[in-house]
Amino acid sequence: EIVLTQSPATLSLSPGERATLSCRASQSVISYLAWYQQKPGQAPRLLIYDASKRATGIPDRFSGSGSGTDFTLTITSLEPEDFAVYYCQQRRTWPLTFGGGTKVEIK
Amino acid sequence: QLQLQESGPGLVKPSETLSLTCTVSGDSISSSDYYWGWIRQPPGKGLEWIGSIYYSENTNYNPSLKSRVTISVDTSKNQFSLRLTSVTAADTAVYYCARRGRTVVVTWFDPWGQGTLVTVSS
């Protein structure tokens, strides 16, 4: 099973600041990695897939990068609606696995 | 517009079987282009993939749950279902259903149902 480790667990930032979230895989997932955003009481929403492609309707302040074992989700300038929990997920091998999440909170 | 909606009991007794249904509207569940899956999230915790089904009978399950899980499809109702046997308090979670692309460009969970909380308690 591929373990995904996200860091930091919590990121405290102000609106307008840049957020950098990390996801590290226990073995190579090539570029088979996605990022999801989850707000309280809501289902996760697909943000980034195949490591760097934005899903439909996702603003361009969200970007993904990386390959192999190290991946980054960047939010260039935080909007109030971006404060949420972010999860990475791999589909390189079964079972599909998720990272533990990074909470982006208002400082 | 594709929509998924989970339904089922919100309370299950320990050792009994959890049964949930996901009703799909806006797409045919018979399509071989997609997986139909279940993911759960214990309160305050992260996401765990439970399993997926495609083409009505091909399944993949998380090894951690495989001995207790069955996912099936009812094409006449455009629904797919989850059965989890011998539940314990550790199975208390919000259960989501979701579609995942198999042969299309976007091979990720999108969209998701709104989720349903299942509590295991006597």
Q: What is the tens place of the pLDDT at every residue in A29-56?
A: 999 999 999 999 999 999 999 999 999 9
Contact B62 A45 (CB under 8 A): no
CA-nearest of A75, A87, A24 to B48 is: A87
Q: Residue B56: is its pLDDT beyond 80?
A: no
pLDDT tier for residue A3 given thresholds of 50, 70 and 90: very high
Nearest CA in chain B to A33: B108
Share of chain B above pLDDT 90, in %: 86
Output the pLDDT for position A36: 98
Which residues does chain A have within 8 Å of residue B96's beta carbon, measured at their own beta carbons?
Answer: 43-44
pLDDT of residue A52: 98
The answer to whether B47 contacts A89, with C-beta atoms less than 8 Å apart, is yes
Residue from the list B49, B96, B108 with its beta carbon closest to the beta carbon of A46: B108
From start to end of A1-107, where are the E strands?
A: 4-7, 10-13, 19-25, 33-38, 45-49, 53-54, 62-67, 70-75, 85-90, 97-98, 102-106
pLDDT above 70 covers a percentage of chain A that reads 100
SS3 B66: helix
Residue B36's pLDDT is what?
95
Q: What is the pLDDT of residue B7?
A: 98
Strand-strand pairing, A4-7 and B58-61:
unpaired
B46/A87 CB distance under 8 A: yes
Q: What is the pLDDT of residue B13?
A: 98
Average pLDDT of span B29-47: 94
Over range A54-62, report the average pLDDT. 97
How far is the alpha carbon of A19 from chain B, nearest alpha carbon, in Å? 20
Name chain A contacts of B113, Cβ cutoff 8 Å. Answer: 43
